[in-house]
């Protein structure tokens, strides 16, 4: 049982990290950024490229190298997120919601198949692998690298929450979520704040990408699709636009999958997890913590 | 050696066939001039995008060799590859394109799930299919007149797996598949064999979702059944991850994969020496076939890369197609089918060819490989 819970929480923390970007962007400009999962993929690939160029340096101190690459990748994917927003979303900000949704799908395909052209269709294998000994915690098999990755996720999530609730930046974001026109009148540089939102969300997805690369080892140009879908689901379960709700949603989805596999079998897992989503939405359409409609980021 | 002798024979028949061929086929001059098109539906994008080029190159190699000897019926052969993305919808569109282009024979088909809906597309137009890779029993069960297989089928692979499981002395066997037509077919058949009284028992039959990274939940499930042998019947991308995660979860027993997982990348994805000692059920690959060195050398010279899985089968599919066209003396579908059914003893990589009434190979030619020093090498020929 404790193994099931641990498996669920570990996978869930990845979902949560990716889901946060989805949720933030939706909260601020009501856009479902379908390219978000692909930023996760882009993060994994840019991390791969950086580790490749560092070459011998990586071998001597792989954990430090991975950490440096994590930071650099966050900056790189963050900037790509900003560029995507500038090119694909900003010119359409006044357009109907459906056009935005379509450009988001377009941006997603452009990223996937652009990466395919640059890096090739074959899956790549990370040069650095996180290997560690396993501990026994309350009957669950837990490895050190899992603990390390989860700690990084938790730190990033807490930092994000502080940023949004305690800083001027965060206040500006929350204000835009409430009423962008009024913000503009009050002298807030809306474009700049939205850019920053994309930067932060994309950087988190990129971080998750590097961590997945280092932990699982295999990356490919379509890896963002499924996790994008899962992250979206997690965001909806938790209450899209709500940061703590999204984190909770990610963990809950991870647990649902883990328990679903256990109780109804591997082939029924997605039916179980997504069936639960449907049930959940009919009973509680705003998501777990979605009641704070007045203040969504 | 074998190839050289064959080449001479091919050239001789080609000459004689072309002489009378033109007389017989004089009627429809527009269709019968120019190159004979061979169509190929293969994955060039999507999750199996790396297999397509191997198959295309293998087929191209055979075509170039045949053309260098004057082609077939005095006409050159030409390959037309379309991307099926390993996706049923894309595959049907690709098959329709090939049909519209008037291909004489289809020599493609890798993912069984994507190949299945293309069968009626070709069959309806009486275009013979010689399928080099896709081998789910579901395809054979369609019992279509124009469909032939030059790869061992799912039940032949399951039988090979069972033979090795028994031989290696395993007691409890867990079978894991990815819910695709090809993978599930082998897994279910193997599980059915295990369920029979006597011999090793089935620990569990588990399905995973392909394309994900984390299989810990499935692995917890599998390990709960205490297997001492695990057989993965899906593709290498998930196979490598599953093997790695199994070992991380403390599994110490034996591990075996199906032919879709035989790829150097499996070893890399599993990482380090994790894959050492893993077995595989596999039809012959260039590097496990004795005496294929010349073939590998000419492949490398032409494409500047190592031949991969199914390059030999695709090469053979083209040769079988050429042989049938030659024997039939035309590209007419029905004549080709009877010519294909009549072929006896044409030397393929898997042995002399003779189609069964179900249009499959008489013997699947499956062997057991093992990972040694990071490479798949022959463990047991199951003879």
Write the pLDDT tens digit of every residue in A117-160: 898 877 888 887 776 677 777 777 888 888 888 898 899 889 99
Domain count, chain A: 1
Contact with chain A for residue B301, Cβ under 8 A: no
Cβ contacts of A143 on chain B, cutoff 8 Å:
248
pLDDT exceeds cutoff 50 at B20: no
**Strand, helix or coil at A258?**
helix
Residue B341 to residue B375: CA distance in whole angstroms: 37
Contact A269 B217 (CB under 8 A): yes
Residues 6+ apart with CB under 8 A from A13: A149, A150, A153, A154, A250, A251, A254
The domains of chain B are located at 2-152+290-349, 155-282+367-380
Q: Residue A111's domain spans which residues? A: 2-283
pLDDT exceeds cutoff 90 at B104: yes
Nearest CB neighbour to A261, from listed B47, B218, B248: B218
Shortest alpha-carbon distance between residue A231 and chain B (Å): 13
Shortest alpha-carbon distance between residue A120 and chain B (Å): 9
Contact with chain A for residue B212, Cβ under 8 A: yes
Contact A116 B271 (CB under 8 A): no
Nearest CB neighbour to B213, from listed A122, A212, A262: A212
**DSSP string of B338-357?**
HHHHH-EEEEETTEEEEB-T
User: Could you tell me the pTM of the whole model?
Assistant: 0.77
CA-nearest residue of chain A to B206? A266
Nearest CB neighbour to A261, from listed B49, B179, B221: B221
Number of residues assigned to chain A: 297
**DSSP string of B33-57?**
SSPEEEEEEE-SSSTTTTHHHHHHH
pLDDT exceeds cutoff 50 at B10: no
Nearest CB neighbour to A216, from listed B217, B221, B241: B241
Shortest alpha-carbon distance between residue A269 and chain B (Å): 9
Assigned domain for A290 exists: no
Classified by CATH at the fold level, domain B155-282+367-380 comes out as Rossmann fold (3.40.50)
Contact A123 B265 (CB under 8 A): yes
Percent residues over pLDDT 90 in chain B: 48
What is the number of CB-based contacts under 8 A between chain A and chain B?
96
Residue A109 to residue A115: CA distance in whole angstroms: 10
Q: Which of A134, A216, A259 should be substituted to probe chain B, the one whose Cβ sees the most B Cβ atoms within 10 Å?
A: A216
Contact B241 A222 (CB under 8 A): no
> What pLDDT is attached to residue A71?
93
Both tokens of B349, joined, read: 């990589």
> What pLDDT is attached to residue B68?
93
Nearest CB neighbour to A141, from listed B50, B240, B250: B250
Count H helices, E strands: chain B?
A: 15, 14
pLDDT exceeds cutoff 60 at A292: no
Q: Which of A3, A210, A266 should be substituted to probe chain B, the one whose Cβ sees the most B Cβ atoms within 10 Å?
A: A266
Both tokens of A102, joined, read: 């379509």
> What pLDDT is attached to residue A236?
87
Cα-based distances in Å from B95 to B40, B109, B130: 8, 10, 14
> What pLDDT is attached to residue A56?
64
DSSP B151: S
Regarding predicted confidence, which is higher, A129 or A52? A52
Q: Which of A222, A259, A261, A262 should be substituted to probe chain B, the one whose Cβ sees the most B Cβ atoms within 10 Å?
A: A261
For the CA atoms of chain A, what is the radius of gyration?
Answer: 19
CA-nearest residue of chain B to A133? B248
Q: What is the pLDDT of residues A87-113, one digit of tens each?
A: 999 998 888 888 888 999 999 999 998
Contact with chain A for residue B252, Cβ under 8 A: no
Q: Is the dihedral of CA A115, A121, A125, A127 positive or negative?
A: negative
Q: What backbone phi and psi angles, to 5 degrees, belong to A289?
A: -110, 30
> What pLDDT is attached to residue A57?
64
Contact call for residues B367 and B381 (beta carbons, < 8 A) = yes
pLDDT exceeds cutoff 70 at B82: yes
**Strand, helix or coil at B378?**
strand
pLDDT exceeds cutoff 80 at B99: yes
> What pLDDT is attached to residue A58?
62
Percent residues over pLDDT 90 in chain A: 32
Q: Which of B85, B176, B217 should be substituted to probe chain A, the one whose Cβ sees the most A Cβ atoms within 10 Å?
A: B217
> What pLDDT is attached to residue A59?
63
> What pLDDT is attached to residue B41?
94
Cα angle: A20, vertex A208, A63; to 5 degrees: 145
Assigned domain for A294 exists: no
Nearest CB neighbour to A266, from listed B44, B218, B240: B218
Q: Which of A37, A123, A259 should be substituted to probe chain B, the one whose Cβ sees the most B Cβ atoms within 10 Å?
A: A123
Contact B221 A222 (CB under 8 A): no
Assigned domain for A79 exists: yes
Which CATH number goes with the domain that contains A134?
1.10.3470
Tell me yes or no: is domain B2-152+290-349 CATH 3.40.50.2300.
yes
Q: List, as ranges, residues 11-70 from A with C-beta within 8 Å of B.
A: 11, 14
Contact call for residues B174 and B249 (beta carbons, < 8 A) = no
Contact A125 B268 (CB under 8 A): yes
Residues 6+ apart with CB under 8 A from A151: none
Shortest alpha-carbon distance between residue A92 and chain B (Å): 30
């Amino acid at each position: 049982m404790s193994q099931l819970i641990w498996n669920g929480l570990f996978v869930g923390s990845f979902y949560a990290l990716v889901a946060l970007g989805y949720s933030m962007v939706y909260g601020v400009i009501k856009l479902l950024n379908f390219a978000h999962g692909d930023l996760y993929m882009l993060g994994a690939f840019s991390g791969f490229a950086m580790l490749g160029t560092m070459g011998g340096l990586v071998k001597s101190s792989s954990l430090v190298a991975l950490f440096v690459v994590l930071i650099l990748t966050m900056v790189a994917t963050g900037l790509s997120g900003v560029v995507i927003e500038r090119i694909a979303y900003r010119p359409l900000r006044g357009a109907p919601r459906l056009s935005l949704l379509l450009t988001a799908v377009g941006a997603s395909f452009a990223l996937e198949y652009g990466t395919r052209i640059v890096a090739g269709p074959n899956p790549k294998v990370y040069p650095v692998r996180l290997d560690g000994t396993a501990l026994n915690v309350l009957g669950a098999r837990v490895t050190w690298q899992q603990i390390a990755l989860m700690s990084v996720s938790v730190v990033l999530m807490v930092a994000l929450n502080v940023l949004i609730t305690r800083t001027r930046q965060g206040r500006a974001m929350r204000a835009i979520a409430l009423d962008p026109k009024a913000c503009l009148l009050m002298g807030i540089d809306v474009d700049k704040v939205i850019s920053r939102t994309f930067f932060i969300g994309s950087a988190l997805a990129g971080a998750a990408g590097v961590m997945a690369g280092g932990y699982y080892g295999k990356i490919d140009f379509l890896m963002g699709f499924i996790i994008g879908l899962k992250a979206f689901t997690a965001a909806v379960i938790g209450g899209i636009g709500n940061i703590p709700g999204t984190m909770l949603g990610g963990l809950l989805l991870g647990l649902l999958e883990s328990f679903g596999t256990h109780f109804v079998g591997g082939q029924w897992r997605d039916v179980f997890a997504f069936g639960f989503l449907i049930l959940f939405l009919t009973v509680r359409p705003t998501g777990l913590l979605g009641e704070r409609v007045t203040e969504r980021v | 050696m074998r190839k050289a002798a064959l080449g001479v024979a091919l050239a001789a028949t080609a000459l004689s066939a072309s002489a009378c061929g033109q007389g017989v086929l004089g009627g429809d001059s527009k269709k019968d001039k120019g190159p004979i098109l061979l169509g190929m539906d293969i994955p060039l994008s999507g999750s199996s995008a790396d297999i397509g080029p191997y198959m295309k190159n293998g087929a191209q190699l055979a075509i170039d060799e045949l053309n260098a000897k004057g082609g077939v019926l005095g006409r050159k052969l030409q390959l037309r590859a379309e991307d099926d993305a390993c996706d049923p919808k894309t595959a049907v569109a690709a098959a329709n394109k090939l049909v519209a282009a008037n291909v004489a024979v289809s020599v493609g088909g890798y993912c069984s799930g994507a190949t299945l809906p293309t069968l009626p597309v070709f069959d309806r137009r009486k275009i013979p299919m010689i399928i080099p890779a896709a081998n789910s029993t579901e395809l054979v069960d369609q019992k279509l007149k124009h469909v032939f297989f030059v790869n061992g089928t799912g039940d032949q692979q399951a039988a090979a797996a069972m033979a090795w499981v028994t031989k290696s002395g395993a007691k409890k066997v867990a079978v894991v598949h990815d819910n695709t037509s090809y993978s599930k077919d082998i897994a279910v058949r193997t599980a059915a064999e295990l369920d029979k009284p006597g011999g090793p028992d089935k620990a569990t039959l588990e399905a995973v979702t392909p394309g994900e990274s984390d299989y810990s939940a499935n692995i917890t499930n599998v390990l709960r059944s205490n297997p001492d042998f695990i057989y993965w019947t899906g593709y290498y991308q998930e196979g490598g991850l599953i093997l790695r995660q199994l070992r991380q979860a403390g599994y110490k027993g034996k591990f075996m994969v199906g032919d879709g997982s035989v790829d150097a990348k499996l070893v890399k994805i599993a990482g380090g020496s994790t894959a050492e000692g893993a077995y595989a059920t596999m039809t012959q690959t260039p590097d496990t076939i004795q005496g294929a060195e010349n073939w590998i050398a000419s492949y490398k010279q032409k494409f500047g890369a190592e031949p991969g899985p199914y390059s030999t089968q695709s090469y053979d599919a083209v040769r079988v197609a050429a042989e049938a066209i030659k024997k039939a003396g035309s590209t007419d579908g029905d004549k080709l089918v009877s010519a294909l059914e009549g072929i006896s003893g044409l030397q393929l990589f898997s042995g002399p060819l003779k189609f069964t009434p179900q249009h499959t190979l008489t013997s699947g030619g499956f062997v057991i490989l093992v990972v040694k020093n990071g490479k798949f090498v022959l463990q047991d020929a199951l003879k």
